[in-house]
Structure 1
Amino acid sequence: MAGSVQRYFAGLSRNTFLLAAASLFADISTEMLYPVLPVFLTQTLKASGSIVGLVDGFAQAAQNIVQGFSGALSDKLQRRKPVAIFGYLLAASAKPLMGLATVWPALFGARLLDRVGAGTRSAPRDALIASSVDEENRGRAFGLEGVGDNAGAFLGPLLAALLLYAVHVDIRTIFYLAVIPGLLAFLMVLLVKERRVPFSAKSKIDISLGRFPKGYWRYLLATALFGIGNSSNSFLILRTQDVGASLEKTILIYAGFNLVAALISYPAGSLSDRWGRRNLLLASFVIFLIAYLGFALTQNTLMIAGFFVFYGLYQGIFRAVGKAFASDFVPDELRASAVGWYSTSVGLLELVASVVAGLLWDRIGHVAVFYYGALFALIGCVGLILIVPANPERSR
């Protein structure tokens, strides 16, 4: 039994496990808040659906835009760890500020600060993950980080539900308590030992866009075609409540979604090392398409819960495989930049998708959000098949 476990995790390093633990604690901190955030906005701060889309869209876009620059900075310095540490500390510090908000613009500002911290840490952390293992185990390494991230996303909502319904704390107190796992994540990264990349840096920061191969740009284009319909998960939470689920049930359903994402992340990353990342990524797009059509077509709470949990397969595969695929297209010295600008593209398109989804939610109908997402998932599938090379090394 022990031998089987060792073989399953063969090729991974101490740093890989520390960074997975950092993602676990960071996501517990974030996901304690995520399922209650749309409710806090709409019920406590009296914001509309459009404001929910605006707040979360801009926050996620800020996170991903910052990743491009933090990745370029860490590539310039060839030091990933200090940049990541700063991001973890900033994100942890912003959590209590959201709980202090009495109007939605104040929460918006604190949420932006939180996501800027998350964006600052992500690309250098991903570069640390990529450099902590041999190339043939890179999918496993990102898969393990995805396990930590999605396990935290599973435990965070459960912890929030426990605090709200068993301990009976006020909803604002959840924001204050979220700083604790955030600081534990910061501690995990402090323990990481960074391996310097043998590369002579230029005298000024180069955002590296002109140095990426054509295959990388094709991958970003296919991701953009899909991403323009990939709005904030806040709309799935609102839709779940829309069909009659209580806040407590919604939080538990959201936790189930994240549990599935956690369970699939490592197997997906491992399989992508053997079967090819494009194939696994295509599967995640198809899962997204089916789930969004399900959200559009049913009014049944049990069915919505099933589709939400099924959607977790997309979340786990896309997060683990998407970043690993982006890093495959470039040499080691550009890896943080490649993952960072990939995440920037994902974030900018999520902003567009979330703003459009907010308008559709308020002005046309709630189901229109999900038909819109399903359409662009289909377009993304076609783009991935037609324009993205299956073998990234040949496109360098």
Structure 2
Amino acid sequence: MSPRPAPGADRAAALSPWRFIVVFGVVSLLMDVVYEGARSITGPLLASLGASAAVVGIVTGAGEAAALGLRLVSGPLADRTRRFWALTIAGYALTAVSVPLLGLAGVLWAACVLVVAERVGKAVRSPAKDTLLSHATATTGRGRGFAVHEALDQIGAFVGPLTVAGVLAATAGDYAPALGVLAVPGVVAMALLLWLRARVPAPADYEPAGGEPVGGEDAVPREPDAAVPALPRTFLVYAAFTAVTMTGFATFGVLSFHLVQRHLLPADLVPVVYAGAMVADAVSALANGWLYDRVGPRALAVLPVLSAAVPVLAFTRSLTLAVVGSLLWGAAVGIQESTLRAVVADLVPSRRRATAYGIFAGVLGVAALAGGALTGALYDQSVTLLVVVVASIQAAALVLLAVLRGRTAPR
């Protein structure tokens, strides 16, 4: 797919589409240092305050549910108000404040609230942020544009956990300075985000008029400016597929709980494993984004396969296999955070895109809560049962993907 011209970019944007994507990626890189650094030790931190595996699964699942489910509100709000930049900035600010405070939490309930609050920040910003990015990726290729952004994202996701690991090792496991140091990249990210907002106040001008979705019998034709286009049926099938595959996906909180409680790793080395998973995330995002731009939804078939393989390896008593399972978990997250978002932009017209991202994420939020609770509870009961249930769920996801492919035009 060759880049298309951006007819309005010279009038409203001071940066090219690729430069916009890269600078936004640097903002995400810095913020990933903040919140991925915190997420890398959420399981051990909650366990240190008395949490069981089930509690860790429920809290981390609830966090993901908040990050996704609340987009049912923030997505339509962004489309209705068109205040994409304001919502993006507010969401990043909430995350930047919540993470350092998490290190100061001395009781389990307070830590749980802050874990969820950090994810609420993601809910506030994500539909608006993804819509801003979708305009620029219209000229660069959806898969590649979102994949490059995700790859930059994951540099921060690599640096953050290693930073936390280093501070934990230097302070004999003190979570307060380990998370407190993450305030610095948060401040820098906010400053850069405000600069980007000033340079590119109207990213919609990157996208050719209409923001039409890509092929298929349910694709929505370009509507007059006064009309509000309906969401295509293919989008609803797609949301069902992603909801099912996420229901059978374990959170890293449960994975890290296993590593520490089974004495495979000390808590201060768990962030190192998480950092490795984020490298796998970046590589997977780039590879799958490139593949998606060439073969379409078929590229998503790898996601249920990876998700089914994670518990088979990650919940063993072998450190090597557990680490490999964690890397596969990261590879699956890379596809979730890049290609899954790109497909939404290809299925839904521009004027409903933030709403679609909100609905899409809301469905996934319910699935994330169910998945976190399910995998945590099954882990407490039987790892074998956990493996069988997850494999069955992912098989169902593959069936829905086949239905989706039948409803979209081949590339």
TM-score interval for Structure 1 and Structure 2 normalised by the shorter chain:
0.7 to 0.9
How much has 1:33 moved relative to structure 2?
Answer: 1.3
Instruction: Tell me how large the CA RMSD over aligned residues is.
Output: 2.5
Which deviates more from structure 2 when the two are superposed, residues 170-179 or residues 120-129?
170-179
- Map 1:43-62 onto structure 2 (within 5 A): 43=48, 45-62=49-66
Q: Which amino acid aligns with 1:48?
A: S
Question: Counterparts of 1:368 and 1:180 in 2: how far apart (Å)?
Answer: 43
1:205-284 matched pairs, under 5 angstroms: 211-241=230-260, 242=262, 244-276=264-296, 278-284=297-303
Structure 1 position 13 matched with structure 2 position 33? no
Q: Aligned partners of 1:132 and 1:385: how far apart in 2? A: 29
Q: Which residue of 2 aligns with 1:315?
A: 333
Give the TM-score normalised by the residue count of structure 1: 0.87
Q: Deviations over 1:53-87 (max 9, x none)?
A: 12111111111122232221111122311110111
- 1:170 is aligned to 174
- Measure how far apart 1:387 and its partner are: 4.0
| Residue 129 of structure 1: aligned partner | 133
SS in 2 for 1:132: helix
Offset from partner CA, 1:114-167 (integer Å, 9 cap, x none): 111111111111111101133561211110111122222111111111112246
Which residue of 2 is the match for residue 344 of structure 1? 362
Q: How much does 1:12 deviate? A: 4.3
| Counterpart residue number, 1:69 | 73
Correspondence for 1:34 among 24, 31, 39: 39
Which of 103, 109, 124 pairs up with 2:113?
109
User: Percent of counterpart pairs with the same letter?
Assistant: 26
Compute the displacement of 1:355 (Å): 1.5
Are the structure 2 counterparts of residues 369 and 173 from structure 1 closer, same or farther at C-alpha, using a change threshold of 3 Å? farther
Deviation by residue 1:5-58 (Cα, 9 ceiling, x = unmatched): xxxxxx842221121111111111012111221111112x11111211121111
Q: Hey, what does 1:23 align to over in structure 2?
A: 28
Q: Secondary structure of 2:338's partner?
A: helix
Equivalence for 1:374 = 391
- 1:370–1:157 distance in 2 versus 1, CA, 3 Å: farther
Aligned residues: 375
Deviation at 1:246, TM superposition (A): 2.2
Shift of 1:359: 2.2
CA displacement at 1:371 relative to structure 2? 3.5
| 1: CA distance, partners of 2:93 / 2:393 | 36
Shift of residue 243 of structure 1? 5.7
User: What CA deviation, in whole Å up to 9, does each residue of 1:96-120 have, x standing for no partner?
Assistant: 2222222211112222221111111
* C-alpha distance in 2 between matches for 1:313 and 1:109: 28
Distance 1:321 1:390, change over 3 A: farther
Q: 1:139 aligns with which of 136, 143, 153?
A: 143
Pair 1:358–1:167, CA change in 2 (3 A): closer
For residues 203 and 35 of structure 2, the distance between their equivalents in structure 1, rounded to whole angstroms, comes to 30
**Structure 1 Cα separation of the partners of residues 369 and 337 of structure 2:** 18
TM-score normalized by the length of structure 2: 0.84
Query: Match of 1:357, SS?
Result: helix
- Deviation digits for residues 217-274 of structure 1 (CA, Å, limit 9, x no counterpart): 0111111222222232211112233262222332222211111111232232122111
Question: 2 CA distance for matches of 1:243 and 1:367?
Answer: 20
Structure 1 residues 373 and 179, CA, compared in 2 at 3 Å: closer, same or farther? farther
Q: Is the 8 A contact 1:67 1:122 kept in 2?
A: yes
Match of 1:90 in 2: 94
